[in-house]
């Protein structure tokens, strides 16, 4: 309940406006897709622009940390930033922890639920390359969207898979250092922003800089 109230109190409309501007700017500077690290940076600057603080200072962001749990903190809210993939506009898939340190499934499930209690919300930037354009969609997902302990688990040829009646599928893949993959039905995720960019505009500002040099 406490996490839900934190999420509701936050001004997601203003945040979405800031993120939209920054996604457009970042895409103008490079044709490369926005990856997880760049997405963290965009979130940080959006929060900073909103005047958000962490213990009287700028939002807390440890660059390149890759630590489990939160990536960015402001007073009253902690965020796990994720790049994601949309499947047929119906499912959103994100990657998460590597779990090789644990010797069995029960330990892994306990760790997953413990880490989910250490932050409030996922912010996921999902990319979809369509004909002639690139689309980014930003989703807000409560950290407690699922409990690993409550899923129905089975052993597979690639590792383990858990699922529930909401359509959530969680996979632990052995060949990828027991990496956790989470697939969520889109209706469980709140879309707060969408950016559509013509492919021809991606990275255009880099060419513009060189053209300015030629004019000089």
What are the pLDDT digits (tens) for 187-207? 999 999 999 999 989 988 877
Model confidence at 88: pLDDT above 60: yes
Give the CA angle between residues 93, 68, 11 to the nearest 5°. Answer: 70
Q: What is the pLDDT of residues 175-187, one digit of tens each?
A: 999 999 999 999 9
Task: Name the residue among 201, 195, 156 with its Cα closest to residue 178.
Answer: 156
Q: Two tokens at 145? A: 């969207």
- How many separate helices (H) and strands (E) can be counted in the chain? 5, 11
Mean pLDDT taken over the chain: 91
Percent with pLDDT over 90 in the chain? 76
Grade residue 65 by pLDDT with cuts at 50, 70 and 90: low
pLDDT of residue 8: 82
User: In DSSP terms, which residues pair with 179 in a beta bridge?
Assistant: 98, 173
DSSP code, position 57: B
Question: Helix, strand or coil for residue 129?
Answer: strand
Beta strands in the chain (DSSP E): 60-61, 72-74, 77-87, 91-98, 121-130, 133-142, 152-155, 159-163, 169-173, 179-185, 190-198
Model confidence at 6: pLDDT above 60: yes
pLDDT of residue 1: 47
């Amino acid at each position: 309940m406490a996490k839900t109230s934190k999420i509701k109190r936050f001004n997601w409309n203003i945040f979405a406006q800031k993120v939209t501007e920054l996604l457009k700017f970042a895409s103008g500077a490079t044709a490369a897709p926005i990856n997880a690290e760049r997405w963290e940076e965009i979130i940080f600057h959006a929060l900073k622009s909103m005047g958000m603080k962490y213990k009287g200072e700028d939002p807390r962001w440890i660059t390149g940390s890759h630590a489990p749990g939160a990536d960015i903190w402001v007073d009253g809210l902690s965020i796990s930033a994720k790049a994601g993939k949309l499947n047929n506009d119906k499912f959103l898939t994100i990657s998460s922890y590597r779990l090789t340190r644990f010797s069995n499934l029960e330990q892994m499930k306990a760790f997953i639920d413990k880490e989910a209690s250490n932050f409030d919300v996922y912010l996921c930037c999902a990319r979809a390359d369509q004909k002639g354009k690139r689309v980014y969609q930003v989703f807000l997902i409560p950290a407690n969207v699922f409990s690993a302990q409550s899923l129905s688990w089975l052993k597979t040829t690639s590792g383990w898979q858990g699922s529930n009646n909401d359509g959530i599928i969680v996979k632990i893949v052995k060949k990828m250092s027991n990496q956790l993959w989470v697939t969520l039905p889109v209706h469980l995720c709140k879309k707060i922003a969408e950016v559509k960019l013509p492919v021809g505009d991606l990275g255009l500002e880099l060419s513009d800089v060189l053209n300015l040099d030629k004019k000089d």
